[in-house]
Chain A
Amino acid sequence: MVNQENIAVKAKQLTRKFGDFIATKELTLEVKKGEIFGFLGANGAGKTTAMRMLCGLLKPSSGEATVAGFDVYKEAEKIKKNIGYMSQKFSLYEDLKVTENISLFGGIYGLNRKEIKLKTQNIIEDLNLHSVANKLVRAIPLGWKQKLAFAVAQVHDPKIIFLDEPTGGVDPLTRRQFWNEIYASADRGLTIFVTTHYMDEAEYCHRVSIMVDGEVKALGTPRELKNQYQVNSMDDVFTELARGTSTK
């Protein structure tokens, strides 16, 4: 038996309909605290709808789910305060300084002046950003930008962080360093929920689920799924599953 406190995300038959269309059908999964979970699916497979329900942004039609221990129906506001979000493209304000970005996001999440000041010091210290603290974000190297975006997404100490295609378009060194950061955070107990189109990002996850036409069609470690489908890569697993259905 898994201790309930060690479950970060729990969904049971979570469903969302739009008219006759079932966007997400009976989603059932559990993500453990400190786990890196890859949430995969083709365009239009129902990932976004499922994610919006889990982030407290959309009421489900039926089923149950808790995120960070809070109910998606009754405690949506608490969920929002306990999750973080980062995407490769739109995370930081390029025209603001490094410190200003931290203050801005700290303010949005309701931190007071003292907390923001402390948080800023900690982030600058932890990431060794002293030399660029007062530079505009657009002027700092991509690798630093990415680390900063990850830190800013955690400025309010969320229990779970949602990453949307976290390493798309970055150079391979930055990418592998960033995955090491993700592993480090997971090791400290942060739960990481990754959505991506890129199956080589999926290979880094502890476990993944693959959605096809609104339903989870596969769930397991990348290794288990590759063995199950007798293929060499997650890319091939994905192709096997999505073939024969909508591939638009």
Chain B
Amino acid sequence: MSAIAVNGISKNFGEIQAVKPMSFSVKEGELFGLIGPDGAGKTTLIKILVTVLKPDSGFATIDHHDVVKDYHYIRNIIGYMPGKFALYQDLSIEENMKFFADVFGTKLEDNLELMGDIYKQIEPFKKRRAGQLSGGMKQKLALCCALIHRPKILILDEPTTGVDAVSRKEFWNMLQHIRTQGISILVSTPYMDEAAKCDRIALMQDGSIIALDTPQAIRDSFTYPIFGIRGANNYHLIEKMKSFPHLRSIYPSGEFAHLVMNQEITLQEIEDFAAKSGEKLIESKLIKADIEDCFIEMMQHG
């Protein structure tokens, strides 16, 4: 059963094709990630799904209800956390939550269990105005407000953008906890390293889905030999390796450079070439492509 089903949805703004006709579905109980850079079409797609924007073509259902016709139903069963903080800055944590509970005809107390640790972390500050909270706290409050009516489906647009690494980690743990409560989750992010936290992901670029699968399967589908190499000076090493025969691509990736080859090659051959070029190679190893490597490959040759 699909919590979300998208069939040929598209949306243009003037001449810009923000979302090109695309189809996919999110299963019930799934944590599904839309992963792509700014401008990939993530927010436009999400706005269509949460019924605040009409598609130009295609149709989509949320909990088997049409996003255009049945918007009233959908708005009651989804929890939506937009990319920009959209709560009342002048109301306290407590007042914001009461307000959203009233709007959805429910009580804060009824769903505390669902929020679990999230609410406990902000409860000590419940009298503080939302506008005076740190980024991480605002994000937790926004998540609580999105959960207040125990939605069937939670939709979050870039919840971790601009949040520090610790809060980011906590946030993903919370999403995984919420998922165990039977709530389906669609979440967008520009950060490729968050892909691993999702059950399945759609990689998006320029309004299209360029890959859709489990993070593991996407990584497994990378068929070229790829090596992590590290030299005394990576910049010089990369420049020299650019003339390596049968090279497909080479880019820095953290403290390593990722070397992708068009054909099988031994570590010895890499070491010999580096040595011949006068670059000291400290480490070289065959690695597994990460999501960024896969994304780059699909952008260039997909």
Contact = CB atoms under 8 A, between A and B. Distances in A.
Interface stretch (A92-100, A112-120, A126-134, A180-188): A180-188
Contacts of B168: 197
Contacts of B236: 187
A43 interface: yes
Given A169-B37, A172-B296, 4 more contacts: A171-B205, A172-B295, A180-B235, A200-B193
A213 to B, nearest CB: 13
5 contacts: A171-B205, A176-B251, A200-B193, A204-B255, A248-B136
Interface stretch (A9-17, A71-79, A238-246): A238-246
A121 B198 CA distance: 47
Interface of B: 36-40, 133-137, 161-170, 190-193, 205, 233-236, 238, 251-255, 292-293, 295-296, 299-300
Contact of A169 (B38, B134, B136, B253): B38
A222 B135 CA distance: 26
A183 B234 contact: yes
A228 interface: no
B166 A247 contact: yes
Given A169-B38, A204-B254, A204-B255, A42 B166 contact: yes
Interface of A: 41-44, 142, 168-177, 179-180, 183-184, 186-187, 197-200, 203-204, 221-223, 235, 238-239, 242-243, 247-248
A42 B252 contact: no
A171 B136 CA distance: 24
A180 B238 contact: yes
Contacts of B37: 142, 169-172, 174
A179 B295 CA distance: 17
Contact of A183 (B252, B295, B296): B252
A168 B190 contact: yes
B299 to A, nearest CB: 5
A42 B136 CA distance: 10
B250 to A, nearest CB: 9
A239 B167 contact: no
A184 B234 CA distance: 10
A225 B97 CA distance: 41
A247 B255 contact: no
A186 B163 contact: no
A197 B163 contact: yes
